[in-house]
Amino acid sequence: MTSNWGHDMEIQYFIRGRTFDVGSPGLQDALAQIYQTSERPRCMCVSGGVEMYIAKHGEFVVKRMPDTGHLHHPTCSSFEPELSTSGRGELMGDAIISHSPDQIEIRTDFPFSRVPGKALPRGEPVVDPAEVHAPRKRMSLRGLLHFLYETAGFNRWYPAMFDRRSQFVIHKYLTEAARGIQVKGGSLEERLYVPEPFKSERKDEIGERRRRKLSILMSPEDAVQFKMAIVIGEFVGSEATPFGRKIKVKHMPDVPLYIESKAWERVEKAYGPTLQARDADVDRKPKALMAALIYAKREHLYQVDTLSLMMVSDQWIPLDGIYELPLIERLQAEGRTFLKPLKYDSKHGAAFPNVLLLDCGASPVPLHVVSAFAEPKERSAKEKALQAAGVSVWAWHTDKAMQELPPQALTRVHQAPRNHTRPRPAAPQERPEVSGDTPDNLTPAAPVDTAHAPQGQLL
């Protein structure tokens, strides 16, 4: 379910003996012919191709089949690394349940409503229970933010993405990432608001769309005190008011969020490194991306119930801490293609690679960063992971000069099976057909010119 936007590898699909580029005029017609049949398009990022799934959201969309991400070429947008490289693997099957390629259920450890009069049972434990349930993992608000971010493809980087991650892109693809996801028996898309780009001359229509989107908060049910929704946006500041702390979200200048003063003190304590990083002595200041679970305390006044922050670079690449920023910026400056593994709710995040380099050949290459200011426990976990990986592992200690990066391989662009034809674009862009007898093309990837978040969430 990852996004294909901004990639620099030519994606091609093989359908009924013909090869189509993503932008081919005939692709939609070809997909329509096999939609709801047993035939499947094949992504030709590797020799022989990988079967894909067709979804329909207005137009036909080609998506990755479950459990096939590792079969794609690392530079393909459908590639998914081994689950052991991020916190997502620990949640699969319990908190993340894939019912179909287009239908995912997320089980969270936070509610989407407040039910009055429901307290947790107290008293002595049952001595002779009828059964014992093994605890199942549930996803925190931070885990859900990581899941949406990864699904939208914002933890990946291709050189063609440079300076293209505008608020419009963030709004569009995070919103699309929520499509088809069920949470607490309802649609996440209905409960998610990502601010659209704010224009003062369009203030009224933008406000109307926002109120319409959040109107679900204004329709409480008999057994529910407050319904809740999630706002994801860039945190830009806060100030004290007689009603608690007022939080300012970029592209929502006319509508602040409110949080209790005591809760905000816990935010500052827990997310201090992320908040302080915005003033770091670096050329490109990091941002703080916020996920807030909100409810309407009164009509059109939004109160924060739960909040999570994630540090991101100026290009919206997620960061575990500012210590990763020099590596991220060097990778960008050298025109590399890479993926940032996300921790989700894992307690073993220090063992994960800080970056997976995707343009080194048929397999991703892990890159590790050891912060000179890391807590002893975290530093020890990272050192143990490096020892287990072997002597050849790439690791940069931030108190030393960064070594050379692993060399970039040639990107293999695979052709479709033999005896196929590529559809001809309409004139004047007509180009010759490509025969299956043509050998695979080898092209280098194009170069470009150019705080550690705590576990869990705050209640």
* Secondary element (H or E) of residue 369: strand 365-370
Q: How far apart are CA 417 and CA 420, in angstroms?
A: 6
pLDDT in tens, 330-365: 999 999 999 999 999 999 999 999 999 999 999 999
User: Average model confidence (pLDDT) for the chain?
Assistant: 85
Reduced to 3 states, what is the DSSP secondary structure of residue 117? coil
pLDDT at residue 56, rounded to an integer: 87
159-185 mean pLDDT: 94
Amino acid sitting at position 82 = E
195-224 mean pLDDT: 89
Q: What is the DSSP letter of 351?
A: G
pLDDT at residue 223, rounded to an integer: 58
Amino acid sitting at position 285 = K
pLDDT in tens, 89-103: 999 999 999 888 778
pLDDT bracket for residue 128 (50, 70, 90): low
Q: Which residue has the higher pLDDT, 119 or 39?
A: 39
User: Which domains does the chain show, CATH number per domain?
Assistant: 322-397 (3.40.1350)
Question: What's the first-to-final CA gap in the chain, in angstroms?
Answer: 30
Burial class (CB in 10 A: 0-12, 13-18, 19+), 277: buried
Predicted TM-score (pTM) of the model is: 0.83
Q: How far apart are CA 406 and CA 399, in angstroms?
A: 20
Give the least confident one: 94-103, 139-148, 199-208, 399-408: 94-103
pLDDT bracket for residue 41 (50, 70, 90): very high
Q: Kindly provide the residue ranges of all beta strands, DSSP E only, lying in 224-347, ordered along the sequence.
A: 226-227, 229-241, 244-249, 257-259, 287-298, 301-312, 318-319, 338-339
